[in-house]
Structure formats: structure tokens, C-alpha cells
Amino acid sequence: MNTGGKSKSEGKVDRLVNGVLKAPDFCTEDLRKFSAHHKNECLDIADKTNYLEDGFQVTSITIEVPTGKSDNLLAPRTYSVPGLHCHKLLNVIKAVFQDPLSHQFHLTPFSLMHQSPITGEEQRVYGELYNLDEFIKEHKRVQNRSPPTPDDPMCKLEKVIAALMFWSDATYLANFRTAKLWLIYLFFGNLSKYIRSRPSSGACNHLTYIPSVCILNI
């Protein structure tokens, strides 16, 4: 407990001793040649649960890889990459706007001003996506867009912008495991950054899992 990192607590040590070492079926011989890294790899192989089946579609994509040589006039080589797991973007948008978190969305942009209590001078504040001039300009353009669709000419629903913010990063799938994926995930700029940045808010939406590919030197 007193070596390495400082995240180990007395409670974890008690659980190790009372729940593991004192267990009637515990045998020290099981720890002979023990390797945590090897055991985690075995767990990755043995885990047959497909965590990507929740609304994801599986498809193959085609990519072009250039030769990387300036004197090579040959066209880029084409490769097929199978196993791309992705959500339909429209389905994600619909699901998010039906989620209780959408009640905290800012659907009408506005300019935020700060007035100095000393000089009385006003200054524009840019703190959120829905405070930007481009967002306000696009919101006005959407309001003046084409009339309602022919199938619902009497539609009086409000027209708003869904501000999509995309990120991509390598993501480990669990603590103390070696499995990872390259993830494309989505946030909505209609939500305040103070809510988006909280891991417990549930504001992050997984959009695509990019499979790993093997690179061969040819």
C-alpha cells in the first residue's frame, strides 16, 4: 500500500487480505510465475461480449494509401478495411434531443456582455459556442429558410441548430486492460461546457469505432 502510487487505501488492503488471502480456496501456488500483463491479455481474449451491438452498424470502408514517394507517379493503392462500427448520425441526434439532458440545451443563441462596475464599459464575452457570431448568424439564416415541407404545410415547429462537435482519440476500454479502440465521439455545442466537461453528465456520444489495421512494409 505504501509503495508506488498514492491511490491505494486501507480499505483496499483489507479487502485483499480478508476477501482473497484468507479465502478457503486461495492457494499461493496459483501465483507462481504470475504476470498481471499476461492475465489482462487472457481476459481480453476470453471476453466474448460484443459491446458494439447497441445500435451500431458494421460496415467496410475503402481507403487510398499513397506511396509516399515524390518520384512515384503510380496512383495510390486502395485497401478495404472491414469491421467499422458506427451509429447513424441522425439516429444519435434524435436520441440526444429525446434525452432529459436536452432540457439544458441552449436553442436560441445570444451575445454575452460584461459591464465593468468601475468604468461602466461593456465588453463582449465569448465563453460558449452559442455566444459566437457565426452561431447567431446561422440561427437567423435557418429561421428565414425555405417554408415548411409539402407533407406538413401547417408546421409551426421551432427551427433550431444542433451544434455538432466531433473528437477522435484512442480510448482504452477498461481499467487495467490492454484492449483499446480509436473512437470518434460527439458532443453538442448547445450544451454548456461546464456540463459537457463533467464525466458524470453523460454528454458524450460514441459515434464510430475505427478498427486497427496492420501496416506492412512492401
pLDDT tens digits for the chain (218 residues)?
Answer: 777 777 778 888 888 898 888 999 999 888 888 888 888 888 777 655 544 455 788 888 888 888 777 666 677 888 888 888 888 899 999 999 999 999 999 999 999 999 999 999 999 999 999 999 999 999 999 888 766 677 777 877 888 999 999 999 887 777 766 677 788 999 999 999 999 999 899 999 989 988 776 655 55
Is the domain of 47 the same as that of 94? yes
Is the domain of 134 the same as that of 202? no
Q: Which backbone phi and psi does 155 adopt, to 5 degrees?
A: -65, 130
| 94 found inside a domain | yes
Is the domain of 56 the same as that of 139? no
| 23 found inside a domain | no
Is the domain of 78 the same as that of 177? yes
Residue 215: the pLDDT is 59
Task: Say if residue 207 is exposed, middle or buried (CB neighbours under 10 Å; 0-12, 13-18, 19+).
Answer: buried
DSSP 3-state assignment of 6?
A: coil
| 35 found inside a domain | no
Task: Say if residue 209 is exposed, middle or buried (CB neighbours under 10 Å; 0-12, 13-18, 19+).
Answer: buried
Q: Which domain holds residue 145?
A: 108-160
Is the domain of 88 the same as that of 190? yes
Residue 212: the pLDDT is 73
Residue 191 sits at the vertex; the CA angle it makes with 188 and 194, to the nearest 5 degrees, is 120
Give which of 43, 83, 56 is closest to 175, Cα–Cα: 43
Q: How many structural domains are present in the chain?
A: 2
| 218 found inside a domain | no
The rounded Cα 130 to chain-centroid distance in angstroms is 21
Q: What is the pTM of this model?
A: 0.64
Is the domain of 181 the same as that of 151? no
Residue 146: the pLDDT is 66
Q: Which backbone phi and psi does 197 adopt, to 5 degrees?
A: -80, -10
DSSP letter assigned to residue 189: T
